[in-house]
């Protein structure tokens, strides 16, 4: 800390101002305000961050000392002002906690009570927010013995004012001789760290990470130093290097990483104007700019900044694991430790952990850098890697070069890892953590820490990739098979499960490069297969899976699965049942590894439906596609059989059906047709709108809630319906709109509740929905179609221009409007309102919400039920959608093409 810094705090000038003032408060406030300004400007000017946070602590020392001097403490008074915690370390960010301990010799505080209260009131009045405790030395010992946080704070202490001997006595009575021996302290801190990591989902790669608490954050460095202080009495990284826990390069990396996070945290506090350790979307762009990160646009500069952040915290996480492992080996070493057990000539088992038998293993036999992970997968009882061996891996990974990558011993070992029955994900994750995976596969190294600045992809590309492999592995667990029955069944019968792991490793490896990442990834995957000398059938399957890994989810979510042509086209892409099995399993794992909130019961049922219909098409033969008329006849015949058996007059059925078009029977199952028909025929002529509600499937974790509405057609019917559903907190995932020749609408909606599940067996909720819709549709002209609600905070930071593509489907005689837009409350109601303004009829809709964006497909016609044919009308429609749906629209917003 500086001894003198007149620009920051001039003691003489401050004392002179105090003497001129009747009250000291204004002088203190002025000094604090000026210091804030000076320090913030130094930060903007690029001042060394370590010096900066020490300067702030030095300034607060001076202010506290001057405040303490305002009170009449006798020279021999046994009371001291002690800085603890981060402030005790001499580190303060703009709004860091200023933790103070007022330390007394005696438990009798009464003699100092008035002065202490007036001192704390002064701090509050001058705007210095402090956390304070008042304790005697003995009370410190009692509190520290019972509370890990208290003993940790006291270890980091400095005397600001008053006698130093009180703090020394406090340190004596709280030393390892009296409490918290280093073993107990280490175990408690390790458990605390694990709990904290779990709170942040055990990943460094959260979209809005906590700079302090997330894995790889500042708290991990502090944990290392706390344990070192308790064990060795040292509290800095250089001293740790002196103890042999860090080599010089690791010390430098850890120090530079700490300084980077300090800069980020300082900027966060400065921009937020308060204590803020969450790297929220609100601040990411400003911090990227403040720290000098550039890109072609704001989005890329944020991604560049966040990739640097993720790589820094990954480095900290790596070194933290190494040092904590080293501490464990030293602090928890048993007195009667058994001798290491040889595994082979290169490795041995030491207290449950694998270690190299000598320091030259990787230099003499580089293939051992892959062998070690295969051994851990083959012997799952191995707990992990000894600290010295982790360090040897880090020090020798430069030996992984092109010759290494083409050596058949290494390629064989890498493929062997994928064939292990367990431990594939765990050891690929270790390889990534120790920097081996990115060295062996440079294309994977490129995606390490690569962020996609959106709410859809909540992990970096490498973390998502490893999560996908984890999900593939979990599909074999009994508890998971209940939620994913079909995927689990198929995973268990794949002829070569190792191939889907390899495809998963490469499915997104092309991201971050110019072009279609599926095509780029397929090229990389083919090169991987050739280098590893995989059989031709295996290679072709892996490459095909990488190239087509998005096809199944796109088809299920964006196309009408009731259309036989859609199924036939998809079946042609797939080609055979084996590919279909692999692709279905990969798709399920990919969705769940992208964002856990994406998977819902309706998406599950769509994928199952596409899988089942495609399997039928493949078994029937692609040369024998289903005929539309044949499907309609089958549906009508089966539905009529159900109705007649229930006592319905077939003539009444035929009369009703004659008013419905072919699309109705193509889009609904026989069971649904019978259900609808029976209810319609029993509906009184003046009974108002008919609203039916049921579950679409009896399978747990699959399906949605189907709402069928039958009522006289009105032009604003769709807009009112979706607005009412929005008010009822229902998420629409599918809409099928049919108008009969008698001008009645037969609309079917698939909805989920806000938790992503169907309504289920909940009579009260079903009644609420039925009553709400019936009331809204009884007088639709009186119902407000635009619902005003605040756009959620996170969505505001992912603004982009809605993209609208319009083209005609000649076969189905409809216009297809594809929309990609920022999600916002009441979006479908706004779309319905626009369709109303343009006198358009909605025939069908596919609704998909992906993070902060919606990707919806609407099948529309004009007022005469014909496809749109006027390009100018389409252009006006497109402009209206962009105008109405833009949220914080970027200045470079543009429209996409119109094809009529």
DSSP 665-714: HHHS-HHHHHHHHHHHHHS-TTS--EEEEEES-SSTT---EEEEEEEE--
In 10 A of CB 899, how many CB atoms?
11
190 and 154: one domain? no
Confirm whether 744 is domain-assigned. no
Kindly report the CATH number assigned to the domain that includes residue 206. 1.20.120.330
pLDDT value for 432: 95
Q: CA nearest 553: which of 860, 756, 855?
A: 855
pLDDT attached to residue 798? 59
Print the domain residue range for 834. 789-900
CA distances to 50, 419, 627, 716 from 44, in Å: 14, 53, 70, 56
Q: Are 711 and 687 in contact (CB under 8 A)?
A: no
Residues 407 and 365 in one domain: yes
User: What is the domain count for the chain?
Assistant: 5
- Residue 483 to residues 479, 556, 615, 762, Cα–Cα distance (Å): 8, 19, 22, 21
- Whether residue 462 is found in the same domain as residue 555: yes
Helix 424-433, helix 298-331: angle, nearest 10: 100
In a domain? residue 145 = yes
Q: Are residues 478 and 341 in the same domain?
A: no
In a domain, 484, yes or no: yes
One domain for residues 385 and 487: no
In this structure, what is the dihedral angle of CA atoms 889, 892, 895, 896, given to the nearest 10 degrees? -120
The residues, any chain, with a CB within 8 Å of residue 8's CB and separated by 6 or more, are: 2, 35, 38, 39, 55, 58, 59
Number of neighbours of residue 630 by Cβ within 10 angstroms: 10
Nearest to 35 by CA among 6, 17, 9: 9
In a 3-state reduction of DSSP, which class is residue 472? helix
Residue 277 near residue 213 (C-beta atoms within 8 A): yes
Query: Residue 563 phi/psi, 5° resolution?
Result: -85, 115
- Give how far Cα 584 sits from Cα of 445, 607, 842, Å: 28, 8, 31
Instruction: Output the pLDDT for position 679.
Output: 94
The pTM assigned to this predicted structure is 0.83
* Lookup: tokens for 178: 């009296």
Residues 196, 305 within the same domain: yes
Q: Are residues 339 and 304 in the same domain?
A: no
SS (H, E, C) 130-195: EEEEEEEHHHHHHHHHHCHHHHHHHHCEEEEECCHHHHHHHHHHCCCCCCCCHHHHHHHHHHHHHH
Report the pLDDT value the prediction gives residue 1, as an integer from 0 to 100. Answer: 62
In a domain, 670, yes or no: no
Which residues in the chain show pLDDT less than 50? 889-900
* φ/ψ bin of 162: left (φ > 0), alpha (ψ from -120 to 50), beta (otherwise): left
**Beta-carbon count within 10 A of 174 CB:** 22
Closest CA to 209 of 290, 281, 273, 298: 281
**What is the Cα–Cα distance from 454 to 464, expressed in whole angstroms?**
14
Does residue 216 share a domain with residue 113? Answer: no
**Residue 760 and residue 705: Cα distance in Å, rounded?**
7
For residue 339, give the CATH number of its domain.
1.10.110.30
Q: Is residue 645 part of a domain?
A: no
Residue 14 and residue 69: Cα distance in Å, rounded? 13
Which residue among 331, 353, 378 closes a domain? 331
Q: Are 426 and 553 in the same domain?
A: no
Is 477 a member of any domain? yes
Euclidean distance between CA atoms 326 and 85, whole angstroms: 25
Among 440, 460, 495, the domain-final residue is 440
Token pair of 426 as six digits: 């765990």
- 267 domain-assigned: yes
273, 305, 331 - which closes a domain:
331
| Pair 890, 829 in one domain | yes
CA torsion, ordered 774, 849, 586, 378, to nearest 10 deg: -110
Q: Is the Cα torsion angle 697, 700, 701, 705 positive or negative in sign?
A: positive
Q: Do 214 and 322 fall into the same domain?
A: yes
> Residue 589: which of 447, 517, 499, 491 has the closest Cα?
491
Instruction: State how far the Cα of 803 lies from the Cα of 818, in Å rounded to an integer.
Output: 8
CATH number, domain containing residue 818: 3.30.70.260
Classify residue 702: in a domain, yes or no: no
* Contacts of residue 104, Cβ cutoff 8 Å, sequence gap at least 6: 78, 79, 112, 134, 135, 136, 137, 166
Whether residue 877 sits in one domain with residue 831: yes
| Helix, strand and coil in the chain, % to nearest 5 | 55, 10, 30
Burial of 883: CB neighbours in 10 Å, binned 0-12, 13-18, 19+ = exposed
- CATH of residue 160: 3.30.460.10
Let me know if 97 is exposed, middle or buried by CB neighbors in 10 A (0-12, 13-18, 19+): middle
């Amino acid at each position: 800390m500086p001894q003198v810094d007149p620009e920051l705090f001039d003691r003489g000038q401050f004392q002179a101002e105090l003497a001129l003032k009747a009250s000291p408060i204004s002088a203190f406030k002025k000094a604090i305000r000026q210091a804030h300004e000076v320090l913030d400007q130094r930060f903007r000017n690029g001042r060394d961050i370590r010096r900066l946070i020490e300067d702030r602590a030095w300034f607060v020392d001076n202010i506290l000392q001057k405040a303490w001097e305002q009170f009449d403490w006798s020279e021999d008074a046994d009371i001291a002002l002690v800085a603890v915690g981060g402030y005790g370390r001499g580190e303060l960010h703009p709004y860091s906690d200023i933790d103070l301990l007022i330390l007394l010799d005696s438990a009798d505080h009464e003699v100092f009570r008035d002065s202490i209260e007036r001192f704390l009131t002064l701090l509050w009045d001058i705007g210095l927010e402090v956390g304070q405790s008042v304790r005697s030395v003995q009370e410190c010992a009692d509190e520290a013995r019972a509370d890990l946080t208290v003993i940790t704070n006291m270890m980091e202490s400095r005397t600001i004012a008053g006698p130093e001997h009180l703090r020394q006595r406090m340190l004596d009575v709280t030393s390892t001789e009296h409490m918290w021996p280093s073993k107990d302290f280490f175990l408690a801190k390790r458990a605390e760290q694990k709990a904290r990591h779990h709170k942040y989902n055990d990943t460094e790669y959260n979209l809005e990470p906590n700079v302090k608490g997330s894995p790889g954050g500042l708290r991990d460095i502090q944990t290392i130093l706390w344990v070192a202080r308790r064990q060795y009495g040292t509290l800095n990284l250089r001293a740790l290097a002196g103890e042999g826990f860090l080599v010089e390069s690791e010390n430098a990396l850890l120090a530079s990483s700490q300084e980077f996070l300090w800069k980020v945290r300082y900027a966060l506090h400065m921009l937020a104007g308060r204590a803020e350790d969450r790297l929220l979307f609100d601040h990411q762009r400003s911090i990227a700019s403040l720290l000098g990160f550039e890109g072609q646009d704001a989005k890329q500069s944020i991604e560049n900044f966040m990739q640097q952040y993720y790589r820094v915290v990954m480095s900290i996480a790596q070194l933290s694991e190494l040092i904590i492992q080293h501490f464990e080996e030293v602090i928890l070493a048993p007195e009667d430790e058994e001798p290491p057990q040889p595994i082979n000539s290169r490795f041995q088992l030491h207290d449950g952990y694998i270690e190299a038998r000598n320091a030259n293993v990787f230099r003499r036999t580089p293939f051992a850098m892959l062998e070690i992970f295969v051994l851990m997968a083959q012997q799952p009882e191995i707990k992990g890697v000894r600290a010295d061996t982790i360090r040897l891996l880090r020090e020798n990974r430069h030996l992984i070069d092109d010759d290494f990558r083409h050596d058949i011993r290494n390629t064989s070992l890498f493929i062997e890892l994928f064939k292990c029955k367990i431990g594939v994900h765990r050891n690929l994750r270790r390889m990534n953590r120790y920097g081996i995976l990115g060295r062996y596969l440079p294309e994977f190294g490129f995606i390490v820490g690569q962020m996609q600045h959106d709410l859809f992809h909540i992990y970096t590309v490498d973390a998502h990739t490893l999560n996908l492999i984890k999900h593939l592995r979990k599909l074999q667990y009994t508890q998971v098979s209940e939620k994913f029955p079909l995927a689990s069944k198929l995973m268990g019968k794949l002829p070569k499960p190792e191939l889907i792991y390899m495809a998963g490793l490469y499915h997104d490896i092309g991201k971050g490069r110019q072009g279609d990442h599926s095509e780029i990834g397929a090229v990389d995957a083919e090169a991987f297969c050739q280098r590893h000398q995989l059989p031709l059938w295996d290679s072709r399957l892996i490459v095909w899976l990488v190239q087509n890994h998005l096809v199944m989810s796109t088809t299920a979510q964006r196309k009408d699965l009731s259309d036989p042509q859609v199924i036939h086209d998809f079946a042609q892409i797939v080609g055979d049942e084996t590919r279909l099995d692999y692709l279905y399993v990969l798709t399920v794992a990919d969705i769940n590894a992208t964002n856990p909130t994406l998977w819902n019961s309706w998406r599950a049922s769509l994928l199952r439906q596409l899988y089942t219909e495609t399997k039928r098409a493949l078994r029937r033969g692609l040369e024998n596609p289903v005929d539309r008329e044949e499907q309609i006849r089958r549906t009508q015949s089966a539905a009529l059989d159900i109705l007649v058996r229930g006592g319905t007059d077939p003539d009444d059925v035929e009369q009703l059906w004659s008013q419905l078009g072919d699309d109705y029977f193509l889009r609904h199952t026989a069971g649904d047709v019978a259900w609808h028909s029976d209810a319609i025929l029993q509906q009184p002529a003046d009974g108002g709108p008919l609203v039916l509600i049921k579950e679409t499937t009896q399978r747990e974790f699959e399906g949605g809630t189907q709402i069928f509405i039958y009522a006289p057609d009105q032009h604003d019917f769709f807009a009112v319906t979706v607005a009412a559903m929005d008010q009822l907190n229902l998420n629409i995932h599918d809409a099928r709109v049919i108008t009969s020749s008698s001008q009645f609408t037969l609309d079917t909606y698939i909805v989920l509740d806000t938790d992503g599940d169907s309504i289920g067996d909940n009579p009260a909720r079903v009644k609420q929905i039925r009553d709400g819709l019936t009331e809204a549709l009884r007088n639709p002209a009186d119902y407000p179609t635009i619902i005003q609600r605040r756009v959620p905070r996170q969505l505001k930071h992912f603004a982009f221009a809605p993209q609208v593509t319009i083209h005609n489907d000649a076969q189905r005689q409809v216009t297809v409007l594809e929309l990609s837009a920022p999600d916002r409350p009441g979006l479908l109601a706004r779309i319905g309102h626009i369709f109303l303004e343009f006198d358009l009829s909605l025939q069908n809709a596919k609704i998909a919400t992906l993070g902060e964006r919606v990707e919806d497909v609407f099948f529309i016609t004009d007022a005469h039920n014909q496809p749109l044919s006027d390009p100018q009308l389409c252009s006006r429609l497109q402009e209206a959608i962009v105008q109405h749906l833009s949220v914080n629209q970027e200045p470079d917003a543009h429209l996409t093409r119109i094809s009529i």
